[in-house]
Amino acid sequence: MSHHIVEAQNLHYVYPDGTAGLQGVSFRITHGESVAVVGANGAGKSTLLMHLNGCLSPAQGTVRIGDFPLIKTTLKAVRRTVGMVFQNPDDQLFMPTVFDDVAFGPLNIGLPEEEVEQRVTQALETVGAGALRDRPPYRLSKGEKRSVAIASVLSMSPDILVMDEPSADLDPQARRRLIELLKTFKHTKIIATHDLDLALDVCERTLVLSRGRICADGATAELFRNDELLSQSALERPLRMQNCPVCR
């Protein structure tokens, strides 16, 4: 089965003000892989992720999702396949209530009301946000907004999950719930994060980005032992891998 493959070939992107976002990024992620994207602030993580569902189009290079190149005519199908949680939940939530936001995608693809109701309830329960159902999203705390943004993607049952800093602002229980959720999601996952403990828990492979380029691509546990590489990317070993004399 090749429909959960994500491939980037020589991606270049320049923002309108001339800032280089990506400077030649290539990788191939195969069906069912779980991949972390890490790097310093401004390394290009969000820019890269936004290429994977066509929110940004590369100046040069190609993205392939499954068997198809990501182009205008495949965009709609790609967006059904790739569920994207943006770095800023305010970019994702725009309806009057939480229910409406989580129901928006399923309604948009014409699912019957009963199934929409079922999907919304399940997605909100999964992220522990059932009680927020009738609240206006703009009044929620940042962490609550993030949980709802994740639910709005889960309600579409995507084949590929792409998440940009999904654990930012979450309280420890919501973060733990997210990790358990990600562990049970068996399809392809791509997660940009500064939370290296989460990456270690959930992703067997990691891409390290630096100034719009991939500077390392390998097994997460191995890369996270490389202190020089981590420090070049303004990162630190996950807590579990720090040499604490008590935990050792």
Binding residues for ligand ADP, rule: CB under 6 A, are 15, 17, 19, 21, 39, 41-47
* Min CB(34)–ligand ADP separation in Å: 19
Can residue 47 be called a binding residue for Mg ion (CB under 5 A)?
no
Can residue 126 be called a binding residue for Mg ion (CB under 5 A)?
no
3-class DSSP assignment, residue 211 = coil
CB 193 within 8 A of CB 201: no
* Min CB(22)–ligand ADP separation in Å: 8
Burial of 82 (0-12, 13-18, 19+ CB in 10 A): buried
With b meaning 16 or more CB within 10 Å and e meaning fewer, what string describes 95-116? Answer: eeebbbbbbbbbeeeebeeeeb
* Min CB(99)–Mg ion separation in Å: 28
Query: Which segment (79-87, 108-116, 198-206, 209-217) binds Mg ion by CB under 5 A?
Result: 79-87
Beta strands, E only, 100-203: 160-164, 188-192
**19: partner contacted, choices ligand ADP, Mg ion, none (Cβ within 5-8 A by kind):** ligand ADP
Assign residue 244 a region: left if phi > 0, alpha if psi is -120 to 50, beta otherwise?
Answer: beta
Which structure tokens are listed for 23? 């400077």
Q: Which is nearer to ligand ADP, 121 or 232 (CB)?
A: 232
* Min CB(45)–Mg ion separation in Å: 5
**47: partner contacted, choices Mg ion, ligand ADP, none (Cβ within 5-8 A by kind):** ligand ADP
Q: Which is nearer to ligand ADP, 17 or 114 (CB)?
A: 17
Can residue 193 be called a binding residue for Mg ion (CB under 5 A)?
no
Can residue 46 be called a binding residue for Mg ion (CB under 5 A)?
yes
Could you give the CA distance from residue 186 to residue 57 in angstroms, rounded to a whole number? 28
* Min CB(59)–Mg ion separation in Å: 19
Could you give the CA distance from residue 86 to residue 13 in angstroms, rounded to a whole number? 18
3-class DSSP assignment, residue 72 = helix
**105: partner contacted, choices Mg ion, ligand ADP, none (Cβ within 5-8 A by kind):** none
Instruction: Give Cα 98 distance to the centre of its chain.
Output: 20
Could you give the CA distance from residue 197 to residue 242 in angstroms, rounded to a whole number? 11
Q: Which is nearer to Mg ion, 46 or 74 (CB)?
A: 46
Nearest-CB residue for Mg ion: 46
**21: partner contacted, choices Mg ion, ligand ADP, none (Cβ within 5-8 A by kind):** ligand ADP
Q: Which is nearer to ligand ADP, 46 or 220 (CB)?
A: 46
* Min CB(56)–ligand ADP separation in Å: 9
